Amino acid sequence: MNMPKTDVTGKAFTERDQKLLEMLLRPDGASLDQINRAIAKKAAAYGYNRDSARLAGRLGGTSWSKGEGGTKRFGIRLPQLK
Which tens digit of pLDDT belongs to each residue from 57-79? 999 999 999 998 878 899 999 98
Give this prediction's pTM: 0.83
Decide if 6 is inside a domain.
Answer: no
Residue numbers of the domain that contains 60 = 15-76
Instruction: Provide the domain count of the chain.
Output: 1
Going by pLDDT thresholds of 50, 70 and 90, the confidence category of residue 4 is: confident
The more confidently predicted of residues 6 and 43 is 6
81 located within any domain: no
User: Does residue 43 lie in a domain region?
Assistant: yes
pLDDT in tens, 10-46: 999 998 889 999 999 999 999 988 888 888 776 666 6
Distance (Å, rounded) from C-alpha 32 to C-alpha 37?
Answer: 9
In a domain, 30, yes or no: yes
